[in-house]
Structure 1
Amino acid sequence: MKGRFFWIALGLIGISWIANSIYAYSKQLDEPIFLDHYIDMTYQDNLYVSFFYLTNKNDTSVISSMNAGDLRAYPEPSYGGNGSHQIYNYQDFGRYVLRSVNVTFYNPYGDQLDYETTEMDVVFSDGRVITAPIGHIITRPMNTDKSPLEQNFSSSSNNNLYQDLYQAIEPLTIEAVGHSFQDDLQDDFFIKIHTPKNPFDSRAADLTFQEPMDNEWNDIPGLNVQDVSFPIYLNEGDTLSIHSKFSTNRTKVLYMDTYIAGTTESGKAFYTTNRIGTQPYLEKKDVTEFIKSRTKEDTDE
């Protein structure tokens, strides 16, 4: 009798193991899923960028190249000097991992490439080739002209709040302030403008420039950029402060510029930029929701 119960118990354990294995296999990703990257780059020589993607924890492949039209990117060799590319798990979520790969975009043509794409062909070391949505990449010519706006101060906080202080070195007109992904990031990225000459908020007189970094977004002096009536006129010596903030949308990665565009009193157009960069930090619920949105499948653990 005891022997019979033993074999029944052993059989139930085997059935449970098989069921769990089938369930785990059914939750495997068919292919890696890239986070949404918003990359705005001046394409002159070579550019170094980090990409992040979710994949199965047992995936032993590495990325060999990333391509889109004339854009060509190859991973940087891992430390050690042997030319190899090692797997780097940025975050671990059980059966899934968030991996990062550092790539360099190369410009083989010697001129400045003007290009835009929302997906790339990704080649892996095991021979797989996937066409992956990667967010939005824009390349544009590099601006080498000296700006009439001198940047006097720049800082950022760990809650993705950025502030920059500019001073006009000659009379000028500001005609636009923004970034390249106005439509993509309208619910995630915000900009405020303040100039002491034409104060948008009387509270600004009581704050030093550094103090807003400790305040909530609504308490920061200035107007949201969409509420600003352009143009803004600045005389020599006038200052302009730009505050920008990225929301807590963890599945979006920024490597882009905010810009100030205008014309000097002498009639020369200018375009001043400042780099914004973020890295993701996902929670398990972010992974579940993101995979579900990309695969239309339930990924609950």
Structure 2
Amino acid sequence: MKGKTFILALLIIAISWGGNLWFYQSKQLEEPIFLEHFYGGAGVFELYYLTNRGDPARVVSVEFSDGTTLYAESDYYGFPNDNPAYGPDVRSRSTHYLLKKTRFDEQQMRELGVDHEGEATIQFNGGKTITADIGTVESSELSKGNGIFRQQSSSGSSNGRSFRSYTVKEELEIESMSSPFPEVHDDFKMKLYTPSIDSTGTPDGGGPRTYSKELDKGWSEVAGASMKNIDFPIEMERGERIRLTMQEKTDAIRSYSFSIQMEGTTKSGEPFTQNFLVSNDPQFSPEQMELLIERRGSQ
């Protein structure tokens, strides 16, 4: 009887071990999955991708659809780690996956005039090469400051909330605000604050300190009006603050870094442009990783 019990126990252990092994293998990616990127030449260009937790490979170069090739910044890996789950390129980790990013040189992008859309050829350090849709990547010249807007503060939170605040140095009128990637705006909500806008939330009495407190408040408590409801032009007096606040949605699994361009005219009749950087640094939960696989894994 004892022998039969022992054999049954071994059989249960074997079935359990086999089931766990099957489940583990079923969760493994055949190749890395890249996020859809929207890069408009503003901020740092970083390529994000999901890979298996035990995969030590890292991106070394990317060939864009326009024929240009960029190489990853080598000093980013100056302190290698034997465990790939804790390398310098890891942004998030789960039981099965790692979300990694690779940084590229902005000046080199401008010199090459990168203009990419869709599939790119990506090479890894072990020699493996894959083709993947990485979205839209464009380079541009650095915008020169107009001297009219003085940055007061900027901040971000792990909950997807961020803001940028400026003070205007002379009387002006804002006539329009436009984005190079309007399709990305479904990923987040935006509020614009100036004293003349019919605003909800906390009034602009506390400056940067007030803004920081709003990072964790409900969206209805954030000062400003929804970008969708703003009527242009917007008039501003010298010394007044203007702030753009963003709230990223939890199901936003794309990477973006671009500028919303504001255009207008000063009191003296001089036209001006001012860029508001819109960017994120994806850090995914296990649920978001699964969502990424569901949306992009079959591409």
Normalised by the length of structure 2, the TM-score is: 0.77
Counterpart residue number, 1:130: 130
Is the 8 Å Cα contact of residues 175 and 233 (structure 2) preserved in structure 1? yes
Q: Which amino acid aligns with 1:127?
A: G
Q: Helix, strand or coil: the match of 2:45?
A: strand
| TM-superposed deviation, 1:219 | 1.9
Q: Helix, strand or coil: the match of 1:180?
A: coil
- Once the two structures are superposed, what CA deviation does each residue of 1:239-263 show, in whole Å capped at 9, x if it has no partner? 4333232233463334333432223
Higher relative contact order (CA 8 A, sep 6+): 2
Q: Which amino acid aligns with 2:245?
A: H
5+ residue gaps, structure 1: none
Counterpart residue number, 1:115: 115
Q: Helix, strand or coil: the match of 1:107?
A: helix
Is the 8 Å Cα contact of residues 57 and 97 (structure 1) preserved in structure 2? yes
Q: Helix, strand or coil: the match of 1:286?
A: helix
Q: Distance in 2 between matches of 1:191 and 1:11?
A: 58
CA RMSD between the two structures: 3.7
Q: Helix, strand or coil: the match of 1:41?
A: coil
Counterpart residue number, 1:248: 250
Q: Helix, strand or coil: the match of 2:275?
A: strand
Counterpart residue number, 2:103: 102
Identity of aligned residues (%): 26
| TM-superposed deviation, 1:217 | 1.6
| TM-superposed deviation, 1:208 | 2.6
The within-5 A match list for 1:81-96 is 87=84, 88=87, 89-96=90-97
Q: Helix, strand or coil: the match of 2:40?
A: strand
Q: Which moved more, 1:159-168 or 1:200-209?
A: 200-209
Counterpart residue number, 1:201: 199
- Once the two structures are superposed, what CA deviation does each residue of 1:127-165 show, in whole Å capped at 9, x if it has no partner? 332222224333233322524223334343443333333
Larger relative strand fraction: 1
Larger relative helix fraction: 2
The within-5 A match list for 1:1-301 is 20-42=20-42, 48-68=44-64, 69-78=66-75, 87=84, 88=87, 89-105=90-106, 107=108, 110=111, 113=113, 115-186=115-186, 188-196=187-195, 198-201=196-199, 205=203, 207-209=205-207, 210-212=209-211, 213-214=213-214, 215-249=217-251, 251-295=253-297
- Once the two structures are superposed, what CA deviation does each residue of 1:54-97 show, in whole Å capped at 9, x if it has no partner? 11233232222012125432222256859999952443322322
Cα pair distance change 1:84/1:201, threshold 3 Å = closer
Count of residue pairs brought into register by the alignment: 290
Is the 8 Å Cα contact of residues 200 and 225 (structure 2) preserved in structure 1? no
- Once the two structures are superposed, what CA deviation does each residue of 1:3-54 show, in whole Å capped at 9, x if it has no partner? 8987787677667655654554343211101233332325xxxx85333321
Q: Distance in 1 between matches of 2:61 and 2:248?
A: 29
Q: Distance in 1 between matches of 2:75 and 2:130?
A: 23
Q: Distance in 1 between matches of 2:4 and 2:82?
A: 54
Cα pair distance change 1:236/1:70, threshold 3 Å = farther
| TM-superposed deviation, 1:176 | 2.0
Cα pair distance change 1:154/1:13, threshold 3 Å = closer
